[in-house]
Amino acid sequence: MRFSWVWIGCLATTIIVLTWLFLKKPVSIYPIQGTFIQLLENSHGQWDENEWLTFFGYLKKLKISNLYLQWTVADTRAFFSGSSLQSVQSPPLETILRLAEQFDIKISIGLVYDAEYWNQITQNSHQVKIYLDDLLRRSIFAAEQITPTALKYRSFDGWYITEEVDDLNWNSIEKRELLLVYLEQLSNALEKLTPGYQIAISGFCNGRIEIAEFSKLWDQLFKRTKINLALFQDGIGAKKLTFSRLPDYLAAFKQSATDHQREMGVIVEIFRQTNGYPINTRPFQAVPADFSRIKRQQQLASRFSQNLVAFSVPSYMMPIAGHSEEALYNKYLTSIEEKNNADSKLERLR
């Protein structure tokens, strides 16, 4: 009799454990919900309506709900009309906003891309101040020109500050103060132009800064500016960070955002860099990453945020970009379908 009761008890325990394992919600791997696009004069600056419709159709199939225009002025060429700046052949901004509204996709609008940015910020503090003052003037001017058009569309979600914050160029007290003043003045101007709209920025790390100093930089940035969304580039595609080092920086980044009541997200680099710094001295070049690596990046990023943003679907995961890009697109679509099927089966079992 005693043996029977022991056997029954063991069986009951086994059933409870198996039930718990079956019903236990697995660790979530969040989907990519946003992407950047770098507007280029020789392609996007010449697209017609049908080409943009195709583009948004791909985004919708991939379940992308947020599109970040990394810039809308490239040096002196504007991707919008109605400005004293010289526009590209077919300025796409209003078309993007209109079609994004149709496809239920939110748009964050970047401002001025200056090809000399990374060279200029390595100069001495006096020269950096002159440069940032001019960039501030240009960026505010662009935002003022864009605002009347942007506010006509529900798809307009806010602004994206084009200048990326890194861990190498702002370590001196003088230069960091110049950066903070620039971001403070620009974010104040954007908030005044469009009160209540999102103001986003991104940053990355080369792994050459102590975690405490990294946290201090972002603490100061959040404290001094109206920026309310910060995106951290995972650095995997550009080989700036590794899977083992990335979690420490993401944890610090998330803590800083949380401490200052700001939103954060993770930029998943869906490319594999093949040329350019730090690999060699050639111009930057990259190809689509292996799908298995991207899934690892998603899994890691999901530990810190639900807001995963790709860099970048148009360049590395869209059929119109090439054969390798189409292959990655198809693999990602298949993964979406498999997840939907798995979710449906689990829901029926429950």
Quick one: residue 42, left, alpha or beta (phi over 0 = left, psi -120 to 50 = alpha)?
alpha
Integer Cα distance of 270 and 315 in angstroms: 9
- Amino acid letter for position 116: E
Query: Across all residues in the chain, what is the average pLDDT?
Result: 93
Quick one: residue 327, left, alpha or beta (phi over 0 = left, psi -120 to 50 = alpha)?
alpha
Contact 326/58 with Cβ under 8 angstroms? Answer: no
Q: What is the pLDDT of residues 274-310, one digit of tens each?
A: 999 878 889 999 999 999 999 999 999 999 999 999 9
Residue 20 reports pLDDT greater than 50: no
Say whether the peptide bond before residue 108 is cis (omega within 30 degrees of 0).
no
- Amino acid letter for position 89: Q
- Percent of the chain topping pLDDT 70: 92
Looking at residue 95, its pLDDT comes to: 98
- CA distance readout (Å), 118 to 168, 169, 215, 276, 297: 11, 9, 22, 14, 27
Strands 77-78 and 308-311: unpaired
Contact 304/315 with Cβ under 8 angstroms? Answer: no
- pLDDT mean over 19-43: 79
3-state secondary structure of 12: helix
Contact 156/98 with Cβ under 8 angstroms? Answer: no
Classified by CATH at the fold level, domain 28-349 comes out as: TIM Barrel (3.20.20)
Q: What is the chain's Cα-based Rg?
A: 23
- Please state the domain extents for the chain: 28-349
Give residue for tokens 């949380």: 258
Q: What is the pLDDT of residues 145-203, one digit of tens each?
A: 999 999 999 999 999 999 999 999 999 999 999 999 999 999 999 999 999 999 999 99
Terminal Cα-to-Cα distance of the chain (whole angstroms): 36
